[in-house]
Structure 1
Amino acid sequence: MKLIQARKGQFVYYNNELHKIYSIKPLAKKSILMFRIKDMEQVASKAEEVTYYKPKHMDSLLFLGAKYTLREDRTAEEGGYILITKPDPDYMDHYALNEFEKVEAVEGKDVITTRQNTVKSREFYVMVPGEEPGSNDITYQDKSKVSAEQLEEDAKLEDVIKEKHALRPSVGDVYLNLDNGATAMVVAIAQEEVTLGTGDRLTIHALYKADNWHYLYSLNDGSSI
């Protein structure tokens, strides 16, 4: 179904690939800002160019190069990921539709994420690593249109992303914040501390391990993922 009213956080297909809307600029010619879920590549489009998709139990997808299956009948595990599809945050929590969060602790069926959000089991799907038997692959809207070469590249994508994320940051590197869709450039590095244009300060190790900051490209060489 084509979108009439776009909403931040929605999953959509654009150019046959699964994306997530992270911002909407109503007055812009291309008002829908999104990133491709499999590798976080950003793109802008018009609302009529995207097709809405609501993720379901037993859907499988590529997220940062790795395949996961969405399950509503599994208990989350520490260190694993969840996808929040029915957000109902308490006043102290900060999360929204279709956010990917990493689990820090499990309390019964509920979880506490690494961003210190307490998320109830009815709000999320557990992202089980791998493509489980009987799952519905939603990485592409129509997989018959995907070339064998593209599928081969997808199979190598996780290693490519890990290699790029392992690079030591440099001034001019640009990162995407998955929490709010903001982009920020590295403006200073002092020993092991990185300062971003947003004012955030992290150690190099913390930036590399962060669940919400993802490397996009460097202004110095134009490379991107």
Structure 2
Amino acid sequence: MKLLQVRKGQFVYYQNELHKVYSVKPLAKKSVLMFRVKDMEQVDCKAEEITLYKPKHMDSFLFFGSRYTLLENQPAEEGGYILITKPDPDYMDHYSLNEFEKVESVEGNNVITTRQNTVKAKEFLVMSPEEAAGSNDIIYLDKSKVSAEQLEQDAQLEEVLREKSAIRPSIGDVYLNLDNTGTAMIVAIVEEEVVLGTGDRLTFHQLYKADNWSYLYNINDGEFRQ
């Protein structure tokens, strides 16, 4: 694509995988900022490295590890998701192209989202859980180039992301050392590694799986984890 054609919200393929553009910075060397739809991993690239895709009825893809199929003329459900493909917001609403929105309530054919936007039925496709029979898989531009190993990783992605979310610590988390009954607080996080006040350094996964460290509370809320 040419840079002038790139817009916030567009679905594009980059390195064979489906992404969504969240910002365009014309003066930057890599001017297109995106996240990979299947796991929200952020990446930036040049406009000429991407291929535009317009999502449509019966397209199926992974959104943060979960499989969905886009359906038109399908009633939206409370707690479900919609994809806004034809945005036409009123002046009080704030959404744009290809926004993922969660449904808070349904009013006739329209929905009120958890961001308090009123979205008309003509503007969105319903994200129906699971892969519908006869749907068009759009995770990859060319699925024939994807290894069996990668497809297996995709199948496990939802569980992996759920665990990552559960184990991601924060600065200020206080842990009990079960070996000596001492406590230690996370004072720094460097990429996927935490630094405790004791000087111990552990990866997120090591801390989560450790038998001798037990989470107590975060100093910002002072509440013990139940």
TM tier relative to shorter chain: 0.7 to 0.9
Look up the match of 1:144. 144
Structure 1 or 2, whichever has the larger Rg, is 2
Q: Secondary structure at the residue paired with 1:190? A: coil
Q: CA deviation at 1:167?
A: 3.0
Give, in whole Å, the separation in 1 of the partners of 2:222 and 2:89: 35
Q: CA deviation at 1:91?
A: 1.0
Q: CA deviation at 1:166?
A: 1.9
User: Runs of 5+ in structure 1 lacking a partner?
Assistant: 175-187, 194-203, 205-225
Look up the match of 1:81. 81
Q: Percent identity?
A: 73
Aligned AA (1:190): N
Q: CA deviation at 1:165?
A: 1.5
Deviations 1:70-118 (A, max 9, x none): 0002100001000001111111111110010000001111100011111
Give, in whole Å, the separation in 2 of the partners of 1:93 and 1:80: 19
The normalised TM-score by structure 1 is 0.76
User: Which has the bigger relative contact order, CA under 8 A and spacing at least 6?
Assistant: 1
1:62 aligns with 2:62: yes
Q: Secondary structure at the residue paired with 2:6? A: coil
Q: CA deviation at 1:190?
A: 1.1
Does the Cα contact within 8 Å between 1:104 and 1:114 map onto a contact in 2?
A: yes
Aligned AA (2:29): K
Q: Secondary structure at the residue paired with 2:79? A: coil
Matched pairs, number: 180
Does the Cα contact within 8 Å between 1:84 and 1:123 map onto a contact in 2?
A: yes
What RMSD, in angstroms, separates the aligned Cα atoms of the two structures? Answer: 1.9
Give, in whole Å, the separation in 2 of the partners of 1:74 and 1:173: 44
Within 5 Å, which residues of 2 pair with 1:193-212? none
Look up the match of 1:121. 121
Q: CA deviation at 1:168?
A: 5.6
Look up the match of 2:46. 46
Deviations 1:118-177 (A, max 9, x none): 100000000000110111000000000000000000000001111112236403679xxx
Does the Cα contact within 8 Å between 1:12 and 1:18 map onto a contact in 2?
A: yes
The normalised TM-score by structure 2 is 0.76
